[in-house]
Amino acid sequence: MAKNRFDTGPGPSQRQLRVGELIRRTLSDVLNRGDHHDPDLGRMSITVGEVQASPDLKIATAYVLPLGGGDAELALSALRKNRHELRRLVAKGLTLKYAPELRFKIDETFDRMDDTRRMFSQDAVRRDVESDD
């Protein structure tokens, strides 16, 4: 069974969390400033929700979503096409020994939040929650 970022178990180390957040901020800045050379990527406004660093810090998985959630696959394709240039630009802003390989995935946490809100707005669920109070 494949693990995803919502699985429980031993969590990431403090170092992984710090590096992930540093990469997230740096990548967000690179995308916002438009430091890259791809005009297709420059036309998109992309949110970097989270970056997870592997235990050895050699791979960083960025969970991204275009602003408004539209054309997510197009944004993912553009990011993957430019991953080498983005890696170089992110590495310039980091003080790590090695620049991690960047991988991109669609951030589904917003969909999960919407599903949760929808579930809690159902009458039967609301009655059950209110009866527990």
Give the mean pLDDT of 10-23: 92
What is this structure's pTM?
0.73
pLDDT tens digits for 78-100?
Answer: 999 999 999 999 999 888 888 89
Structure tokens at 87: 């890696």
Domain ranges of the chain: 14-107
SS3 83: helix
Residue 113 has pLDDT above 50, yes or no: yes
Task: State which fold the 14-107 domain adopts.
Answer: GMP Synthetase; Chain A, domain 3 (3.30.300)
Q: Is the Cβ–Cβ distance between 75 and 116 less than 8 Å?
A: no
Tokens at 32, concatenated: 């916002």
pLDDT in tens, 41-76: 888 889 999 999 999 999 999 999 988 767 888 989
